[in-house]
Amino acid sequence: MLGLAKKIFTLSRICSAMALFCSLFFNVSAIEVPATDTAPIIDGVNNEPQWQKSQWLAIDQVIIGGPLNKYDFQGRYRLLWGANKLYLQAEIVDDRLVDFNADPLDKYWDDDTLEIFLDEDASGGDHQYSYNAFAYHIALDNQVVDITPQRTFALFNDHIESRWKRDINAPHKIIWEMAISLYADDFDPAEKNSPVGLHKGKKIGFMLAYCDNDNSETREHFINSKDVTAVNGDKNRGWIDASVFDTLILGE
């Protein structure tokens, strides 16, 4: 028994050291998300008091493209949780909204798109062609797309309720609100899947980004909510590796 206890203790220390290494190497931050007893209405209007419990966080890290002009793009977001959903409110300033591709599965990353990265159990690791994590692209028509394990594109509209509106006092500003259901890594589109229940203390891998296209065949900028450490000179790792995500901790 003593030998087994020593092995367990040693393994625990190794796991803790690995977690610390991953946190430092991938620049992972913890974000506490407040709870709400009243679900916000997903209508693109910022008029509900429960949002005041949550602090704004910036979308300001350029992953693709040159320096940003504040008149071209500014972004921030905040989060709540409750009723087994994660709620997101984003405030986007974009001087030109572009949706060139009517087919939601065609080059959706080159339109103006909000991208939500979600790892339900915060396990990290590769998810490029698996459901270990999701990289949801939400288009201006509120359709939700991600890559499948078969390396095709598919709609996941039932995962996220989404709506945005322009701010009547600032025509270049939109308020974008979403109610998000979380699914585990055993998600199977051929089966009936139930969303994962949420509870205080639960950890979720998360990152938010915006694809900005002003009037080009491809996006000019890809702006992230965190500064991702480059791998071989590449910062665009969110759609491949969930280890670069921040960690949400569901609080009170």
Report the pLDDT value the prediction gives residue 219, as an integer from 0 to 100: 95
Higher pLDDT, 22 or 207: 207
Higher pLDDT, 133 or 18: 133
pLDDT tier, 201 (very low <50, low <70, confident <90, very high otherwise): very high
Domain extent listing, the chain: 29-250
Q: Rounded mean pLDDT of the chain?
A: 90
CA gap 138, 154 in Å, rounded: 12
pLDDT band at 19 (very low <50, low <70, confident <90, very high): very low
**Residue among 161, 17, 192, 14 at smallest CA distance from 89:** 161
Which of 182, 9, 164 is closest to 86 using CA atoms? 182
Q: Kindly tell me if the per-residue pLDDT of 24 is higher than 70.
A: no
Residue 14 has pLDDT above 60, yes or no: no
Q: Is the pLDDT of residue 4 over 70?
A: no
Beta bridge partners of 32: 249
Cα–Cα distances (Å) from 225 to 1, 196, 252, in that order, read: 48, 24, 23
Q: Given this model, what pLDDT does residue 27 score?
A: 56
Cα–Cα distance, 5 to 119 (Å, whole number): 32
Q: Flag the least confident range among 14-28, 118-132, 168-182.
A: 14-28
Q: Could you give the CA distance from residue 175 to residue 145 in angstroms, rounded to a whole number?
A: 20
pLDDT at residue 214 greater than cutoff 70: yes
pLDDT tens by residue, 131-178: 999 999 999 999 999 999 999 999 999 999 999 999 988 889 999 999
Spatial distance between the Cα atoms of 53 and 200, rounded to a whole number of angstroms? 16
* pTM of the shown model: 0.88
* Residue-wise pLDDT tens digits, 33-90: 999 999 999 999 999 999 999 999 999 999 999 998 888 999 999 999 998 999 999 9
Judge whether 217 and 125 are in contact, CB under 8 Å.
no
Closest CA to 239 of 71, 76, 64: 64
Tell whether the model's pLDDT for residue 16 goes beyond 70. Answer: no
Tell me which CATH code domain 29-250 carries.
Answer: 2.60.40.1190
